[in-house]
Structure 1
Amino acid sequence: MTDTDENLPPRLGSLTFHGPLSEARANRMIERLAAASPSIVLDIGCGWGELLLRVLEAAPGSTGVGIDINAEDLARGRLVAKERGLADRVEFVEESALGTTRGPVDAILCLGSSQALCDPDQPHDPAVALRELRRLVRPGGRVVLGEGFWQRTPSDEELAGMWPGANTGEHLLLGPLVDLAIEAGFRPAWIETASREEWEEFESGYRHDTEVWLAAHPDHPLAAETRERVDRQRSSWLNGYRNVLGIAYLTLVPVN
């Protein structure tokens, strides 16, 4: 079999957002951001920038910059921006967010990407990321942070079922996470968390296209390694972090 594009496992084609985020919740976030009339919107770890593009559509006077290190996702974002007539209002840039000089801006999106603001040689520290977000946002601006937290302290058995090296110190409970945001110089204007349904939509959508591909191409040269990877990901969710790991969406306002 020839390894043409159509014969290779697809990537994330069934996802609207790269995270457990419903259309309804996204729309409410966008309404709150657009109400603040942002001029410049920065999306850190933007992926293909779906939420960024929707903010620009809701705030007609705004422009946006999305930064990420995944060239494939950025190319998808540029294509979608062109299709929606937003190509002249948004820039997708392949670069690291570490120490970025792209602030201060009026609104920041950082959903599941706060690690991009931290030293990769050090354990992920949400306090460091929050201080960086405070540095990058203008007075009167808004930050929407999507950050993992433990819904409860995981058991040893649950940790063993997660990713390699998973430990309780990797995430905080929700209360201490919000406290860190306040210590960094924010007021938490809105606190919400992903629902079980949002998680199931994301986890199933994350693997959907690849699962269908595996069923249709069981003997493909890439099938064995793809099947092993997907089975490992699914097991990590079902036998590890399901109903234990949460995602908090915090809309933060900087204190003057």
Structure 2
Amino acid sequence: MDRQRRSHLAHADHPIAAPVADESVARLLDRAVADGAERALDLGCGGGEWLRRLLVRHPRLRAEGVDVHAEALERAREGAEESGVADRLVLHETDAAAFAPAHRFDVVLSVGAAHAFGGLLPTLAAARALLAPEGRVVVGDGFWERAPDAAALSALGATRDDHADLPTTVDRVVADGWTPVYGHVSTAGEWDDYEWSWTGSLSRWALDHREEPDALDAYQAAAEHRTQWLAGYRGTLGFVTLVLRRSP
């Protein structure tokens, strides 16, 4: 099964593609929008769920989203139309790392897309280049809740150097010239809801569409992912979402 289609099916019950609950998303977005903010950007927007919610909550904003996947951008377009915010959203099918608009943004988001830039700090470098002087960045990435064992690293296809612990992660961000003005560490409950939703949505689709050519592949992918999570990285991989401003 195509990876984009699999991701779309797996996120049917949890459209935010990160272990962040709806109320946490709302709180992060509200902390990110300062008085007078007019423009927002999501680098690696996927299906556009963060932008859709941002535009619904803040009617004065206009937003742009960047992603390389046409299918995801089409879903973002459809979601924006359903929510009545399509007239305030522009989508770009291009590499987020190469996006170079003529203007700057008051809010730049990039949650769970650090792989597209080569890591957290390169993601922040890309955001800085697109950020208005008093703008805010919302960035989300993984960290080690505890030292990863071999099972966790194997399940994630990762190395120990791919992440640091939470204090080190935040220290690196601060040393890079940023000040956290808010943050959210995903709880065990948010992680469990995300992973059960991911594996459950994909499994349900496979069981309900047994005649589809991709059904068996989807079923096996859900089962493999569930094992990787439960027997591998559950309780080891954490996720933090930060609202940042430039340091003085």
- Asked if TM exceeds 0.5, the reply is yes
SS in 2 for 1:38: coil
Instruction: Report the counterpart of residue 4 of structure 1 in structure 2.
Output: none
- The structure-2 alpha-carbon separation of the partners of 1:212 and 1:184, relative to structure 1 and needing over 3 Å to count, comes to same
CA contact (8 A) 2:203 2:218 kept: no
Residue identity in the other structure for 1:214: A
- The residue aligned with 1:139 is 133
- 2:67 maps to a residue whose letter is D
Relative distance call for 1:155 and 1:209 in structure 2 (3 A) is: closer
Q: Offset of 1:88 from its aligned partner?
A: 1.1
Which of 240, 248, 256 lines up with 2:240 in the alignment? 248
Partner secondary structure for residue 13 of structure 1: coil
Residue by residue, what CA displacement relative to the aligned partner does 1:63-104 show, whole Å, maximum 9, x if unpaired? 100111222221111111112221111012221111321352
SS at match of 1:20: coil
Give CA-to-partner distance per residue, 1:198-236, whole Å, 9 cap, x none. Answer: 111111211223211333455654333222222221111
Residue 25 (structure 1) aligns with: 24
Q: Who is 1:227 aligned against?
A: 219
Q: Taking structure 1 as the reference length, what is the TM-score of the superposition? A: 0.86
SS in structure 1 at match of 2:46: coil
Name which of structure 1's ranges 217-226 and 125-134 shifts more when overlaid on structure 2.
Answer: 217-226
Equivalent residue, structure 1, for 2:3: none
Partner residue of 1:191? 183
CA distance in 2, matches of 1:76, 1:218: 24
* Greater helix content: 2
Residues 171-194 of structure 1 deviation map (CA, whole Å, 9 limit, x = unaligned): 111112112211222111112210
Distance 1:168 1:36, change over 3 A: farther
Larger deviation, residues 223-232 vs 194-203: 223-232
**2:156 corresponds to which residue?**
163
CA displacement 1:106-145 (0-9 Å, x = unmatched): 10111001222x2xxxxx3322222222222111110011
Cα root mean square deviation, aligned: 2.0
Consecutive unaligned residues of structure 2, counting only runs of 5 or more, are: 1-7
- The equivalent of 1:111 in structure 2 is 111
TM-score, length of structure 2 as denominator length: 0.89
* Cα distance change of structure 1 residues 176 and 30 upon mapping to structure 2, 3 Å threshold: same
1:50 equivalent in alignment to 2:44: no
- The aligned length equals 240
The residue that corresponds to 2:145 in the other structure is: 151
User: Percentage identity across aligned positions?
Assistant: 30
Q: CA deviation at 1:158?
A: 2.9
**C-alpha separation in 1, matches of 2:28 and 2:113:** 17
2:31–2:182 contact (8 Å) kept in structure 1: no
Is the CA contact 2:40–2:105 (under 8 Å) kept in the aligned structure 1? yes
Structure 1, unmatched stretches of 5+, are 1-8, 119-123
Name the SS of the counterpart of 1:31 in structure 2: helix
Equivalent AA in structure 2 for residue 196 of structure 1: A
Mapped to 1, the partners of 2:9 and 2:57 lie a distance apart of 30
Residue number in structure 2 paired with 1:127 = 121
Q: 1:106 to 1:241 in 2, by over 3 A?
A: same
2:83 is aligned with what amino acid? Answer: R
